[in-house]
């Protein structure tokens, strides 16, 4: 490997590469990794930062495509299950974990819908088996009685509870952390990964870049230019027709629904196969999602949830809990835009396929669009296969299906690690490197480097320093909104900002300990 570090700006940028990748969400990072591991020279750029767009606004799940199965989209359901297995077994076992998902059987779930839901879970288990994912990773679904269901989610309404349906899916430590890890892996294999590098014009053989830090410009020529900008794909290729939809989540403290050890699935009234989800997170918060609202007009850099979506999600989940969450319990919210391809005859965005597509514009730019986080690796593989088939360049076969990301290791090995548990969860076998880097840069003792910001904010100085030195973080927003996810809760962001500024100062000066405050 010819390791590089992720770098903001254009300093030292090459004049010619085999592939330029535009956009550093999960798709662009995946394309960069696939291309560089096939032996190609790669420049991957983003106008903002890693995981700036849709990739950080997901439900933090790697799921097996059960919803697509219900819609009759068998190919994408199978593809999702296969890619979930690759993520959990091979590429990112350190960033994924099995998530038990409980559907309460109560008055809101009729007997016919209970039977339909159970049949769907059984079909999902067939998908799991077809993808060769073991029951050790994702156990088979099973029925629970009311006592068993309450043991897993004590806040459920007991008076209407008849039992529960328990299934398993994959959960990420954090979606933005996956993007950063894929980008780091691409850089480790030789890709030149640049943030704050905006593409102002592109053809199939060149991009015009502007350094967003200095204003300097540069032209890079390439064998191929890949547009992986998601909902902004039309800005580089006006032939791309998208119908974005907004998916909103609410953020709650875990204490609102105490001792909830499973995701709780609540049926959305008036639908046959859609559920709202209450998702426990590794940091102790809960996410409530997910909406599917069509979006028209200009695409914002950072989408915002509507008041109607907040009320809708709270209203749906209220039926399941003895003391349901209220607006006063909502400490944060976030929304992402799905880059859905326009399809003639499809009425709503909820009906549009999540299948990805690879398109070539009149100028020769190759656009990869659609899809979803779980299938990013397959999207990247298909993109490079298309470019090779089109004769853009010669390249080796795809390697990413058997290539672990940096820090990856089996769960058994990670459990034996003596490194701090939070660092192991977020960096895997690189946890020791994170701490060693922070020691070297700051000269501080471990207890100060590893002290959480507060009881509710587990972020440490060590991981902030590493984000700057190894992950391309340039400012406070990079640290709080993307390398960690503190920015999802405004109060937590305020509390953590001084530590983020301290980390930036320590790295910039290479000084010995600075006074607090």
**Position 1 in a domain:** no
Residue 346, domain member (yes or no):
no
Which residues does residue 247 pair with via DSSP β-bridges, in sequence order?
336
Confidence of residue 352 (pLDDT cuts 50, 70, 90): very low
| Shared domain check, 443 and 334 | no
**488 and 472 together in one domain:** yes
Q: How high does pLDDT run on average in the chain?
A: 93
CATH value at residue 165 = 3.30.9.10
pLDDT attached to residue 472: 96
Q: Identify whether the C-beta of residue 18 lies closer than 8 Å to the C-beta of residue 44.
A: no
Q: Is 343 among the domain residues?
A: no
Q: Is residue 515 part of a domain?
A: no
For position 490, what pLDDT does the model report? 96
Look at residue 354 and tell me whether its pLDDT is greater than 90.
Answer: no
Q: Which of residues 363, 382, 402 is at a domain's end?
A: 402
Residues 249, 238 share a domain: no
17: alpha, beta or left? (left if phi > 0; alpha if psi -120 to 50): beta
State the pLDDT confidence band at 353, using cuts at 50, 70 and 90. very low
Give per-residue pLDDT as tens, 251-295: 999 999 999 999 999 999 888 778 999 999 999 999 999 999 988
**What's the confidence (pLDDT) of residue 331?**
98
Same domain, 140 and 251: yes
Query: Are 146 and 252 part of one and the same domain?
Result: yes
Domain at 225, CATH number: 3.50.50.60
Tens of pLDDT along 74-113?
888 999 999 999 999 999 999 999 999 999 999 988 899 9
Report the C-alpha gap between 251 and 491 in whole angstroms: 12
pLDDT band with cut points at 50, 70 and 90 for residue 344: very low
pLDDT (tens digit per residue) in 411-463: 999 999 999 999 999 999 999 999 999 999 999 999 999 999 999 999 999 99
- Tokens, residue 336: 């992402």
- Please give the span between the terminal C-alpha atoms of the chain, in angstroms, as a whole number: 41
- What is the rounded radius of gyration, in angstroms, for the C-alpha atoms of the chain? 23
pLDDT tens, position by position, 287-304: 999 999 988 888 899 999
Please indicate, yes or no, if residue 359 is contained in any of the structural domains: yes
Residues 234 and 259 in one domain: no
Residues 169 and 185 in one domain: no
Judged by phi (left if over 0) then psi (alpha if -120 to 50, else beta), residue 14 lies in beta
**Does the pLDDT at position 513 exceed 90?**
no
| pLDDT above 70: residue 2 | no
Helices (H) and strands (E) in the chain, counts: 16, 19
Give me the domain span that covers residue 436.
411-509
Cβ atoms 132, 88 nearer than 8 A = no
Cβ count within 10 A of residue 450: 18
Residue 101 contacts residue 120 (beta carbons within 8 Å): no
Report how many domains make up the chain: 3
Q: Do 318 and 369 share a structural domain?
A: no
Which pLDDT tens digit goes with each residue over 36-82?
999 999 999 999 999 999 999 999 999 887 777 777 788 889 999 99
Clarify whether residues 430 and 482 are in a common domain: yes
Whether residue 76 is contained in a domain is answered as yes
How confident is the model over 456-472, as pLDDT tens digits?
999 999 999 999 999 99
CA 340 to chain centre: 17
State the Cα–Cα distance between residues 64 and 203, nearest whole angstrom.
Answer: 36
Sign of CA dihedral 372, 375, 377, 383: negative
- Strands (E) across 37-136 are located at 42-45, 61-62, 96-105
Average pLDDT over residues 134-142: 96
Instruction: Kindly give, in sequence order, each residue whose CB lies less than 8 Å from that of residue 153, ignoring residues fewer than 6 positions away.
Output: 102, 104, 257, 259, 260, 261, 262, 264
237 and 270 in a single domain? The answer is no
pLDDT of residue 346: 41
Single out the residue in 402, 425, 445 at which a domain terminates. 402
Residues 237 and 251 both lie in one domain: no
- Within 10 angstroms of residue 131's Cβ, the number of other Cβ atoms is 20
Mean pLDDT confidence for 478-490: 97
| Region of residue 155 (phi > 0: left; psi between -120 and 50: alpha; otherwise: beta) | alpha
449 Cβ contact list (under 8 Å, min separation 6): 435, 438, 439, 442, 460, 461, 462, 465
Q: What is the pLDDT of residues 206-217, one digit of tens each?
A: 999 999 999 999
The answer to the question of residue 516 being in a domain is: no
Residues 357 and 271 in one domain: no
d(CA 329, CA 219) in angstroms, rounded, equals 50
In a domain, 482, yes or no: yes
pLDDT at 347 over 70: no
Contact 470, 5 (CB under 8 A): yes
């Amino acid at each position: 490997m010819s390791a590089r570090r992720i770098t903001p700006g254009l300093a030292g940028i090459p004049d010619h590469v085999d592939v330029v990748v535009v956009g550093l969400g999960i798709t662009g990072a995946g394309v960069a990794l696939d291309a560089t591991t096939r032996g190609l020279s790669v420049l991957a750029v983003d106008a903002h930062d890693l995981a700036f767009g849709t990739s950080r606004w997901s439900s933090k799940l790697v799921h097996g495509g059960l919803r697509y199965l219900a819609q009759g989209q068998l190919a994408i359901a199978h593809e999702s299950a296969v890619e979930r297995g690759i993520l959990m077994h091979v590429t990112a076992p350190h960033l994924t974990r099995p998530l038990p998902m409980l559907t309460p059987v109560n008055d809101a779930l009729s007997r016919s819908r209970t039977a339909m839901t159970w049949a769907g879970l059984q079909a999902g288990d067939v998908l799991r088996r077809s993808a060769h994912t073991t029951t050790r990773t994702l156990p088979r679904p099973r029925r629970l009685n009311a006592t068993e269901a309450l043991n897993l989610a004590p806040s459920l309404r007991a008076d209407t509870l008849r039992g529960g349906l328990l299934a398993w899916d994959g959960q990420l430590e954090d979606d933005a952390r996956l993007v950063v890890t894929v980008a780091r892996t691409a850089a480790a294999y030789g890709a030149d990964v640049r943030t704050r590098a905006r593409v102002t014009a592109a053809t199939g053989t060149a991009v015009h870049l502007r350094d967003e830090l200095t204003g300097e410009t540069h032209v890079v020529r390439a064998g191929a230019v890949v547009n992986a900008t998601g909902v902004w794909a039309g800005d580089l290729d006006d032939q791309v027709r998208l119908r974005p939809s907004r998916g909103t989540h609410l953020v709650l403290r875990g204490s609102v629904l105490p001792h909830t050890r499973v995701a709780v699935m609540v049926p959305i009234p008036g639908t046959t196969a859609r559920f709202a989800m209450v998702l426990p997170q590794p940091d102790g918060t809960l996410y409530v999602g997910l909406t599917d609202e069509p979006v028209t007009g200009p695409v914002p850099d950072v989408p915002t949830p509507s008041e109607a979506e907040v009320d809708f999600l709270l209203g749906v989940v209220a039926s399941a809990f003895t003391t349901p969450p209220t607006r006063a319990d909502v400490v944060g919210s976030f929304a992402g835009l799905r880059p859905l391809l326009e399809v003639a005859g499809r009425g709503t965005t909820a009906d549009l396929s999540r299948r990805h597509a690879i398109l070539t514009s009149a100028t020769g730019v190759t656009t990869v669009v659609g899809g979803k986080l779980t299938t990013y690796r397959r999207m990247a593989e298909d993109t490079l296969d298309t470019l090779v088939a089109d004769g853009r360049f010669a390249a080796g076969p795809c390697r990413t299906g058997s290539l672990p990301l940096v820090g990856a290791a089996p769960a058994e090995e990670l459990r034996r690690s003596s490194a701090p548990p939070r660092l192991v969860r977020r960096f895997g076998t690189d946890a020791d490197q994170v701490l060693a880097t922070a020691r070297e840069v700051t000269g501080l003792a471990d207890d100060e480097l590893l002290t959480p910001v507060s009881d509710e904010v587990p972020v440490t100085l060590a991981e902030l320093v590493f984000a700057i030195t190894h992950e391309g973080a340039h400012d406070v927003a990079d640290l709080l909104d993307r390398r960690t996810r503190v920015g999802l809760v405004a109060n937590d962001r305020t509390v953590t900002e001084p530590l983020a500024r301290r980390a930036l100062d320590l790295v910039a000066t290479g000084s010995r300990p600075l006074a607090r405050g």
